[in-house]
Amino acid sequence: MPVKFIKIEDGKSFLLERIMYTRRYTLSLNRELCVGCELCRAACPKEAIKVVKPSDLADLEEPPKRITVTVLEDKCNFCGICSEICVFGAFKQSINDEENIPVLASESFPKIIHEVKIDESKCPPNCKVCEEVCPLHLIKVNFEGGKVRVDVDRERCPGCRICEVKCPYDAIHTRKIISGLIKINSELCPEGCSECVKACPIPNVLSISSDGKVNVNDLFCIYCGACRNACPVEGALEIRRTAIYHAPVKSGAWNKALERLTSTEDMAKELRSKLASRAYDSVRRLQMGGRVRR
Amino acid sequence: MSEPKPEDIRIGVFVCHCGKNIAGVVDVKDVVEYARTLPNVVFAIDNRYTCSDPGQEEIKRAIKDYNLNRVVVAACSPRMHEFTFRRCVAEAGLNPYLFEMANIREHCSWAHPSHPKEATEKAKELVKMAVAKARLLAPLEPIKVPVTPTALVIGGGIAGINAALDLAEMGFKVYLLEKKESIGGHMAQLDKTFPTLDCSICIEGPKMVDVARHPNIEIISFADLVKVEGYIGNFRVVIRKNPRYVLEDKCTGCGECSPVCPIEYPNDWDMNLGVRKAISVPFPQAVPLVYRINRDYCIECYKCVDACGPRQAIDFDQKPEEIELKVGAIIVATGYDIYLPEEGNLYGYGKYSNVITSLEFERLILAAGPTGGHVVRASDGKRPRVVAFIQCVGSRDVNKYPYCSNFCCMYTLKHTIQLKEHYGDDVDVYVFYMDLRSHFKGYEEFYQRAREMGVNFIRGRVSKIEEDPKTKNLIIHAEDTLLGEPIELEAEMVVLATAAIPAKGSEELARILNITRGTDGFFMESHPKLKPLDTPVDGIFLAGACQGPKDIPYSVAQGCGAAARAATILSKPSVTIEPIVSVVDPEKCRNTKVKCGICAMKCPYGAIRAEPGKPAQVMAAMCHGCGTCVAECPVDAITQMHFTDAQILAQIDAALENNPEDKILGICCNWCAYAGADLAGTSRFEYPPNVRIVKVMCSGRVDRDFILYAFKKGAGMVLVGACHPYDCHYIDGNLKMKVRMDALARALEKFGLTPDRFRVEYVSAAEGVKFANIIREMAAKLREIGRDRIRAENEKLRPHIERMLKGK
């Protein structure tokens, strides 16, 4: 029986289904959450993800307003890496309607850690600064019976750290998921272009200064690369990701994804540190009276 | 035997009635009378069946009584009985190559039944042509070549398995080549077998294991056949082993790698109903039990490498590997494929989720299948309460596959019985059929059993199926031809018994092996009755469904039969091959004086060596006897035994002695065009009787001079018939002929020849219709051009032809 593929897309969503008799694989993308960044395309081991501009999808009924991605059904193998690497939580994968990311279960791909720690005891009543500053509206502050409860939709948090920096009471601790560097070569920028500023999902990371040049505020940048996808000139915008915060894992697929997301050197660095930590662990085991191999 | 002088040649002509097959159209007595008038014919007689014992005895007696030194039999096609008569004359002490045949059945009486007068004239001329060649025949000694006592079996289905096991048991080394990862073929996919309902893999599995364990059998799986060269007893086979990325000698089949793999992909062995891991075996009983990584899906997480651990069986750097084997015989057992009517969504297949094929149903009802043996619907996962089976989907359909697929009736009966056994009265089963064919041991009883179990049989073809969009049930519209009224039935699942079709890659395989396929696409046997396992290529045999759809017992029988056929070659230290090879005249060869070597360059087999300063040399054992070098030699220094220039020109002479401008002279290759003309006769496709065919082994033998000579003799039309471009039995003799003929056609046109008068056509052995059509077209054109214009053109051509033929 031919494997059946169903592909439904509009400006707001994209859905790809692979149906094998009674087994159904579903990969869905919420385009309202997708910011058109580089992460899923770079991480995909099968080159199944293509970055598309609104003009590429012009024949859809309601074309998306910003750059987004599409999945090629002849290449996708429903491994779920895109779902995990998307720090905005725009991708969801399920098998027979149950959320399922096969590469996580087998530890072929690490869990990406979205770290937002909140010490609610420090929160005074009626302070809603974090809720107000979160650019993606992921924080909800509740006051119930004199107690403060802060709910964060962590899966969708890309870790810009705005909440931490803005919190007046030092109640929030976060950690960037992606570390890196960003640089604008203004001399290459076309006159009056502000594509990168418009594309950036985090406000105030990129801005146009009075002399018409693009300014970068590295502090809040999440190095997702949405700006680079939008930039019309090759080389005008440089991003170098150096590390990704993730649960430990030993997987060739991750090493390759990491290499594509960062660079060969950074990938090698992570491998070296893993080796070092393994050596450290074994020394610790010895010290703690573990068996010594002769 | 010393060469007799021309006046000492004593030819006997034996004209066969073939019952009424020849005598019903051709006036045999008249042909005999005519034969007696031909020079050197000292004896002529007719016989009702020349091929029968008394007929052969008559020939032997005549050879002795009349001291004959040449024999001509005018009867059926030489492709049929040349061998019989050669043996007959040899028994009488004559060299077997001093025998010639005139084909007055396939090429005459069967092809021109409505024109007995013209047919008789044609028969006479065919005898005249044969006598003309016979006069120039020379005795030849067969060539003996050694035999490599190993066999290659292509295809590891149940037919190939049995062929391999039998040969191995006889003591021959066998290579069993399988394209897929595991041997087993379709039988390993089935749940139960009819009519005994025993479990398919339970009876095939042990055989598969026997194959793997047999010291004389080497399984080469997940590999493709790349090239086959050589000839009977001495084939050189090149095989490409595809990388599994798991080392065969290190994988223990423990299966620890598979569970840690995160990636699933559709398992085509499960008809894509189920999934397998990116590192897996297609099914648990696979032989050889070696895992494989599908790199199309693998994400290279190397979890399997960890799981494999110290066994170190996984090698991501494995490359395709080409190996070379030497074998003496080849058995083709490549089986069939199942037609998937997704194109055009026949009966809603591919569009409606509850319409499936029988092989998919097989995977559903199999306990080890993707649904654990539960027959469920794809739309909702529920068990269907009404199941309808539709027979002859694609089969017996003139627009798809006109033949009967042989086993569908029986497996549908099996499915209905299985459904009834599983679910009893809880399921209603309907079968829509055209005819139910249950014609082997125990099959009719099986049909009765299905009827007794309450299966409803409705005779009639289904016109269309619609889906209820809400329930996803299927509404079947059909006609009950027994009641003569239209009916409508709502079923919850529809199972299509789709056609069995030639396996994918059959075309390429046919090309590699130089074997022919019929119009249905299955491989063609040498003779439908007497050589059902042989191919036209000596040393290559067929077994199982690759020759046409067959059920398991029939395939097993054929596998064993083909093994026995192959053993007839392998058990002997040497085989004799026909001595129709090329011979170089060192006196004439110009390679001694100038750098020539054209023959060596054109030889499809590299059988000619042309060292500078020495005459070219043909290595007889490597020469296949196509004659391409003979036609290419610029100084006519090469002769093909039994197909010499003189013999062929004598045949042309004889054919064109009377009224040449009314005639079409055909030169056809033995394997395709001549066989196509035979088929036209066998199928009784009538065509005009003014064609005279000269047989050559390969169209590559067709010398420019033959065409020129024919026009010089005043021929109305000339046809060169060859195999289709890549079907040549001598690799590419036909293509070399084409190049030569295209150049000649241009020259002749320039000199004033109407282009239609010289044609080169590709006709396969299966294209009787095409052959008849070509002759009809050419005859019509001949009439249209008219005798006068042809004569005038020929006159105009004559000086040019004389010049081109000068010195020959």
Statement to judge: residues A16 and A71 lie in one domain: yes
Q: What six digits make up the tokens of A173?
A: 């601790």
Residue A211: its pLDDT value, please?
86
Residue A25 included in any domain: yes
Name which CATH class applies to B243-318: alpha beta
Contact criterion met (CB below 8 Å) for B281 and B291: yes
Residue B808: its pLDDT value, please?
55
Counting the structural domains of chain A, the total is 3
Residue B732: its pLDDT value, please?
86
B352: closest chain A residue by CA: A4
Encode B294-323: b = buried (16+ Cβ within 10 Å), e = exposed.
Answer: beebbbbbbbbbbbbeeeebbeeebeeeee
Contact criterion met (CB below 8 Å) for B29 and B1: no
User: What is the rounded CA–CA span in Å between residue B787 and residue A279?
Assistant: 100
Half-sphere exposure of B738 (CA within 13 A, CB side): 13
Neighbours of B791 (CB within 10 A): 14
Half-sphere exposure of B137 (CA within 13 A, CB side): 27
- Residue A158: is its pLDDT beyond 80? yes
Domain boundary among A105, A133, A151: A105
* Partners of B540 in beta bridges: B330
Binned at pLDDT 50, 70 and 90, residue B1 comes out as very low
- Residue B272: is its pLDDT beyond 70? yes
Instruction: Answer yes or no: do A45 and B300 touch at CB < 8 A.
Output: yes
Q: Compute the count of residue pairs across chains A and B with CB atoms less than 8 Å apart.
A: 84
Q: What is the DSSP letter of B109?
A: I
Statement to judge: residues A96 and A121 lie in one domain: no
- B406 residue type, one letter: N
Residue B694: its pLDDT value, please?
97
User: What is the rounded CA–CA span in Å between residue B58 and residue B89?
Assistant: 11
Encode B375-413: b = buried (16+ Cβ within 10 Å), e = exposed.
Answer: bbbbbeeebbebbbbbbbbbbbeeebbebbbbbbbbbbb
User: Over the stretch B72-89, which tens digit does the pLDDT of each residue have?
Assistant: 999 999 999 999 999 999
Closest-CA distance, A178 to chain B, in angstroms, reads 22
A76: closest chain B residue by CA: B297
- Residue A294: is its pLDDT beyond 50? no
Pairing of strands B500-502, B336-338: antiparallel
**Nearest to residue B266, comparing CAs of A80, A22, A41?**
A22
User: What is the rounded CA–CA span in Å between residue B371 and residue B493?
Assistant: 16
Statement to judge: residues A227 and A165 lie in one domain: no
* Same topology between domain B1-140 and domain B142-242+320-335+503-570: no
Q: Which residues of A touch B (CB under 8 A)?
A: 1-4, 19-23, 45-46, 77-81, 102-103, 105-109, 250-254, 256
Residue B530: its pLDDT value, please?
82
**Nearest to residue B118, comparing CAs of B658, B575, B593?**
B658
Q: At what angle do helices B78-91 and B53-65 cross, to 10 degrees?
A: 50
User: What is the rounded CA–CA span in Å between residue A25 and residue B417?
Assistant: 34
Residue B375: its pLDDT value, please?
95
| Cβ-based contacts of B340 with chain A (< 8 Å) | 1-2
User: What is the rounded CA–CA span in Å between residue B223 and residue B513?
Assistant: 16
Domain boundary among A105, A127, A143: A105
Contact criterion met (CB below 8 Å) for B500 and B338: yes
Residue A213 included in any domain: yes
Residue entry with tokens 């089986």: B335
Number of H helices, E strands in chain B: 22, 38
Residue A258 included in any domain: no
- B71 residue type, one letter: V
Binned at pLDDT 50, 70 and 90, residue A281 comes out as confident
Statement to judge: residues A74 and A8 lie in one domain: yes
User: What is the rounded CA–CA span in Å between residue A206 and residue B735?
Assistant: 69
- B780 residue type, one letter: A
Residue A132 included in any domain: yes
Q: What six digits make up the tokens of B551?
A: 């059920």
Query: CA-CA distances (angstroms) from residue A203 to A154, A155, A240, B640?
Result: 19, 20, 20, 89
- Angle value at C-alpha B553, between B552 and B554, nearest 5 degrees: 90
Instruction: Answer yes or no: do A78 and B272 touch at CB < 8 A.
Output: no
Name which CATH class applies to B582-633: alpha beta
Residue B578: its pLDDT value, please?
86
Residue entry with tokens 């679910």: B423
Statement to judge: residues A149 and A91 lie in one domain: no
Residue B713 falls in which region: left (phi positive, over 0), alpha (psi -120 to 50) or beta: alpha
Residue B229: its pLDDT value, please?
87
| Cβ-based contacts of A21 with chain B (< 8 Å) | 272-274, 370-371, 378
Contact criterion met (CB below 8 Å) for B771 and B672: no
Statement to judge: residues A182 and A230 lie in one domain: yes
With residue B133 as reference, give the H or E element that holds it.
helix B116-135
Task: Classify burial at B200, counting beta carbons within 10 Å of its beta carbon; exposed 0-12, middle 13-18, buried 19 or more.
Answer: buried
A4: closest chain B residue by CA: B350
Contact criterion met (CB below 8 Å) for B613 and B592: yes
Q: Is residue B206 helix, strand or coil?
A: helix
Residue B3: its pLDDT value, please?
61
- Residue B447: is its pLDDT beyond 90? yes
Neighbours of A92 (CB within 10 A): 19
- Residue A229: is its pLDDT beyond 60? yes
Mean pLDDT for B60-71 is: 95
Residue A111 included in any domain: no
- Residue B542: is its pLDDT beyond 80? yes
Mean pLDDT for A101-126 is: 93
* Average pLDDT in chain B: 94
What topology is assigned to B643-808 in CATH? Answer: Rossmann fold (3.40.50)
User: Over the stretch A53-105, which tens digit does the pLDDT of each residue have?
Assistant: 998 988 888 888 899 999 999 999 999 999 999 999 999 999 999 999 999 99
Closest-CA distance, B310 to chain A, in angstroms, reads 17
Instruction: Answer yes or no: do B301 and A108 touch at CB < 8 A.
Output: yes
Pairing of strands B173-177, B217-220: parallel
User: What is the rounded CA–CA span in Å between residue B153 and residue B540?
Assistant: 10
Mean pLDDT for B714-735 is: 90
User: What is the rounded CA–CA span in Å between residue B655 and residue B710?
Assistant: 9
Task: Enumerate residues 6+ apart whose C-beta is below 8 A from B76.
Answer: B16, B18, B51, B103, B105, B106
Closest-CA distance, B391 to chain A, in angstroms, reads 18
Statement to judge: residues A141 and A192 lie in one domain: no
**Nearest to residue B618, comparing CAs of B138, B98, B143, B18?**
B143
Contact criterion met (CB below 8 Å) for B774 and B759: yes
Q: What is the DSSP string of B524-563?
A: PPSBTTTBTTB-SSTTEEE-GGGGS---HHHHHHHHHHHH
Range of the domain at A232: 178-244
Closest-CA distance, B339 to chain A, in angstroms, reads 10
CA-based radius of gyration for chain B = 31
| Cβ-based contacts of B303 with chain A (< 8 Å) | 106-108, 251
Name which CATH class applies to B340-501: alpha beta
Task: Indicate the residue of A20, A105, A252 with minimum beta-carbon distance to B300.
Answer: A252
Contact criterion met (CB below 8 Å) for B13 and B100: no
More confident: B173 or A63: B173
| Cβ-based contacts of A79 with chain B (< 8 Å) | 262-263, 299
Residue spans of the domains in chain B: they are: 1-140, 142-242+320-335+503-570, 243-318, 340-501, 582-633, 643-808
With residue B745 as reference, give the H or E element that holds it.
helix B733-750
Q: What is the DSSP string of B666-687?
A: EEEETTTHHHHHHHHHHTT---
Mean pLDDT for B523-544 is: 89
Query: CA-CA distances (angstroms) from residue A57 to A60, A78, A102, A198?
Result: 6, 23, 30, 19
Residue A255 included in any domain: no
User: What is the rounded CA–CA span in Å between residue B409 and residue B425?
Assistant: 22
Domain boundary among A159, A174, A189: A174
Residue A293: its pLDDT value, please?
47
What topology is assigned to B142-242+320-335+503-570 in CATH? Answer: FAD/NAD(P)-binding domain (3.50.50)
| Cβ-based contacts of A22 with chain B (< 8 Å) | 370-371, 376, 378, 381
The answer regarding whether domain B1-140 maps to CATH 3.10.450 reads no
- Residue B2: is its pLDDT beyond 70? no
Q: Is residue B136 helix, strand or coil?
A: coil
Q: What six digits make up the tokens of B89?
A: 């004359």
Residue A270 included in any domain: no
Q: What six digits make up the tokens of B360?
A: 């998919």
Percent residues over pLDDT 90 in chain B? 89
Contact criterion met (CB below 8 Å) for B789 and B749: no
